[in-house]
Chains A and B, each alone.
Chain A
Amino acid sequence: GAGVSQSPRYKVAKRGQDVALRCDPISGHVSLFWYQQALGQGPEFLTYFQNEAQLDKSGLPSDRFFAERPEGSVSTLKIQRTQQEDSAVYLCASSSGRGGTEAFFGQGTRLTVV
């Protein structure tokens, strides 16, 4: 596709429910990042994939958060037993090289936990 595509755009989950957020990066992009953006804040790094390898998951806030990119293209961020503090916009970004400096962001998935 022309850009990074994320789905769903909006997700409302009841507390305790599991959710899965999808990211389709720009075709051929090696690097894929997930960021979390709380209301009124800048994005914060969650995890990084280089092709199918998850090289950095230091930003994942708890073991309820899990990400995968099994074939080196589409990625899924899964949150188990959602809590209210998980409410945020989840942004996916991709870049063509390993560097990740010129990253292109998707529109994000706004997750609201009620």
Chain B
Amino acid sequence: QQQVKQSPQSLIVQKGGISIINCAYENTAFDYFPWYQQFPGKGPALLIAIRPDVSEKKEGRFTISFNKSAKQFSLHIMDSQPGDSATYFCAASMRAWSGYSTLTFGKGTMLLVSP
């Protein structure tokens, strides 16, 4: 059972446009929702993250919108640039009984920003 569903699988956006990637989760115990950016041949790098007590978080051109009742969250990339072309993963985590958290990832969205 896939706990974090991500869409679309791929996305092409023109330079300067807005890229929007959506994720939905099942488990209401999740309490941390990060987005990771991965370039070919590299490991995922944390981009931005949100906790469910806020509905939106913005860092530069990147914004997370969070809808707790719908169990959905999304990444918006404003003024998309060719350098943003990468695979983006949403993830969710919850704290285990012993205090640690493991990440459950979506399947990823391959973003291509055309010049």
Q: Give the total number of A-B pairs whose CB atoms are below 8 A apart.
A: 68
Within 8 A of A (CB), among B65-115: 89, 91, 93, 95-96, 98-108
Evaluate contact between B95 and A91: CB separation under 8 angstroms.
no
Evaluate contact between A99 and B100: CB separation under 8 angstroms.
yes
Residue interface mask A70-114, B partner, CB < 8 A = 1 = 000000000000000000000101000011111111111000000
Residues of A within 8 A of B (CB): 4, 31, 33, 35, 40-45, 48, 50, 55-56, 59, 91, 93, 98-108
The reply to whether the CB of B49 lies closer than 8 angstroms to some CB of chain A is: yes
Interface residue tally on B, bucketed by range: 20 to 34
Query: What is the interface of chain B mostly: helix, strand, loop, or mixed?
Result: strand
Residues of A within 8 A of B105 (CB): 42-44
Beyond A31-B100, A107-B41, whether A101 also contacts B34 by CB under 8 A is: yes
